[in-house]
Amino acid sequence: MFALCLLSMTCSAGTSAGGPGNLGHRSAWAELDGLRVHYLDYGQGEAALVFIHGWACDSSFWRLQEPVFSDGHRVLLVDLPGHGQSDKPEIVYTQALFARSIQAVLDNAGVTSAVLIGHSMGFSVARRHALDHPGRCAALVSVDGTMLRVPRDPTRLDVWRAEYQAFVDRFRVTDYQRAAEAYIRFMFADATPEGLRREITAKMLATPRHVALSALANIGDPSIWPETVFNKPTLAALARQSWYRADDESYMRRLFPRLEYQAWTDVGHFLMMDRPDRFNRTLLKFLASIGQHGRAGGHGSGGA
């Protein structure tokens, strides 16, 4: 259970037709330190909703959100470095690298104001970017997002480090696929459909081992978890699963004073896929509450 408590944590290709009501989309790449970072770009404008996937996932994990939100908003679906169609070199995959890749995408896309929507590890990436570039982030959304609580006492910190290292070592010293499959199974709710379980598992196991291990190890760097306050609108939609802590809400409210907090039951870690209609309505309502109504004529109906 310690595992998910921790992780629960410049050229473009051709344009193709988008979903109903949007302005089409293109598959594009931003460049970062010689790496190509892939993203899908729907619509136009300097303001955008930026969807950031979690550990070992990719931009397709937002497939049930894209048709809804691109009908009315500019939408960017990002493949973090090492994931999806982005480059996957043998490098160290840090949270700083991932956050810088978001900045590279925003610059390449000409986006000056973004609502950053992050699932799992993607939320920690979004938060890191928002703290580094507060002027570019209009709001944050945590979709069962990773927020590690690192002890400040040196003795407790040593224990925490050892526990996290033991967690990561499970993936290094045993058969990686078997360990990863067990970890992924832990993320599902009893009600998660079998077809969705197979889809998620296959896609996560397709992420290269060197990427997954490096990213997982670097999430445990205590220096990337400052208790810095983000004083802009924030939505947290969390799964009330076995890793849920009773004081999650109070902890989040301390770091995000303008927080809308929801804890959902009967959903797994991938709640935007488990309950897409509910998730889409929740996000649309939040966006409307902060004045992010999107383009005139966009209706944003519920998801599949």
CA distance 109 to 25: 12
pLDDT score recorded for residue 295 = 64
Higher pLDDT, 20 or 161: 161
Apex 150 CA angle, 148 and 154, nearest 5: 165
Confidence (pTM): 0.90
Q: Are 218 and 93 in contact (CB under 8 A)?
A: yes
C-alpha 179/C-alpha 173 separation (Å) is: 10
pLDDT band at 173 (very low <50, low <70, confident <90, very high): confident
On the question of pLDDT at 42 being above 90, the answer is yes
Enumerate residues 6+ apart whose C-beta is below 8 A from 126: 50, 52, 102, 116, 117, 118, 137, 140, 141, 145
298: nearest Cα among 13, 68, 107, 55: 68
pLDDT of 102 over the 80 cut: yes
pLDDT at residue 291 is higher than 70: yes
Which domains are seen in the chain, by residue range? 2-289 (3.40.50.1820)
pLDDT at 296 over 60: no
